[in-house]
Amino acid sequence: MKWKPINFALTSEILTAYAEIERLTGKVEGVQLSRSTPKLRKKNLARTVWGSTGIEGSSSSIEQVEALMRGETVTLSKKEQLEIINALNAYAGVSSYDPFSLDSLLRAHAQLMKGLMLNAGNFRQEPVEVYISEFKTRAMPSWQIVPQSMEMLFETLRSSKEPMLFKSIRFHFDFVNLHPFTDGNGRAARLWQTRLMMEEHSVFEFLDVESIIFERRDEYYQQIRSGQKRNDINGFVRFMLTQIKLSLESLWEKSGSVIPSCGERLSIAAGFFGAESFTRKDYVQLFKTISSVTASRDLSSGFKNNLLRRTGDKRTSVYRFKSENGS
């Protein structure tokens, strides 16, 4: 038996949800949320870890996760504390993982499950069954096909032309369906979906999708079981798109919809473009929520205040930030 990807249909419902996520992502990125609200980023990290460990049965509260982030003592079992600390370290270093490397994923699993199992970071070498109800279990694929299947899964991930959002959801399902590890499969799958989504939009590092899934964990597991039974993951795809959309909406609301000032935008742009030349269109692409008129006012202000050099005229103008010595 070899692993094969499970296809899903691009229904109007799925395409509409995808378009809405792209629109929301543009709004969030347009105000440079990831750079301007470090407190919110830390809060969302706590919610992410609370959600991901909660899905696996942790009894912790968000306040206890935040206390552990500060190095404080909490009234949780040693196992629960270790689960949280491991997850905090894994998510804090998520950008260091190569999303297309199987070895990198094994390293991430070793971090997530450090001290919680003997063979963390290594594929299982035994049969395993998972509970699908109180009295019924499901046998997962043979451990003997896991190494080759995981190689194929990552090869598909690298070669697929699908949008990253769809690839990340497909990977999430295929990973838990293969069940490559004795334990920690769900939390590793959710971490890796985050890492994959970050590859296209860095703001996904600061979403708390896991906490939203936690609040709907019964449906989460039901959609996984349904996909396994029917060999059809459309329900799982719709479910995950909804959770991602809800997380983006929450992040936007928590930000207070604060739009940077002209000076703040120019400062951000200076860090982004560096010594490279750029156009008004490039500037609008960086700040997706501002109009072309606002962009023109920003750039005109930067030129008048001797922050920018400008060549060309009107629509053909090209800009470059001056260095500290004025060159």
Q: What's the pLDDT tens digit per position in 135-157?
A: 788 888 899 999 999 999 999 99
Q: Are 248 and 28 in contact (CB under 8 A)?
A: yes
Of the listed ranges 15-24, 102-111, 248-257, 279-288, the one predicted with least confidence:
248-257
Please give the average per-residue pLDDT across 40-51, as a whole number. Answer: 87
Mean per-residue pLDDT of the chain: 88
Domain ranges for the chain: 12-254, 262-321
Structural tokens at position 128: 């395993």
CA–CA gap between residue 156 and residue 174 (Å, rounded): 11
Min mean pLDDT across 93-97, 139-143, 151-155, 183-187 is at 139-143
* Distance from the first to the final alpha carbon of the chain: 64
What's the 3-state SS for 220-281? HHHHHHHHHHHCCCHHHHHHHHHHHHHHHHHHHHHCCCCCCCHHHHHHHHHHHHCCCCECHH
Predicted confidence (pLDDT) per residue in 197-225, tens digit: 999 888 888 888 999 999 999 999 999 99
Structure tokens of 64?
Answer: 């206890």
Quickly name the fold that domain 12-254 has.
Fic-like fold (1.10.3290)
| CATH match of 262-321 with 1.20.120 | no
For residue 1, what pLDDT is reported? 57
Q: What percent of the chain has pLDDT over 70?
A: 92
> What whole-number distance in Å separates Cα of residue 88 and Cα of residue 74?
15
HSE-up (13 A, CA, CB side) for residue 30: 17
Contact 178, 141 (CB under 8 A): yes
Best CA proximity match to 208, nearest among 16, 53, 4? 53
State mean pLDDT over 30-42: 60
Task: State the Cα–Cα distance between residues 10 and 234, nearest whole angstrom.
Answer: 8
**% of the chain residues with pLDDT over 90:** 63
pTM over 0.75: yes
pLDDT at 316: 84
Work out the average pLDDT over 244-260: 77
Kindly state the average pLDDT of the residues 69-86.
94
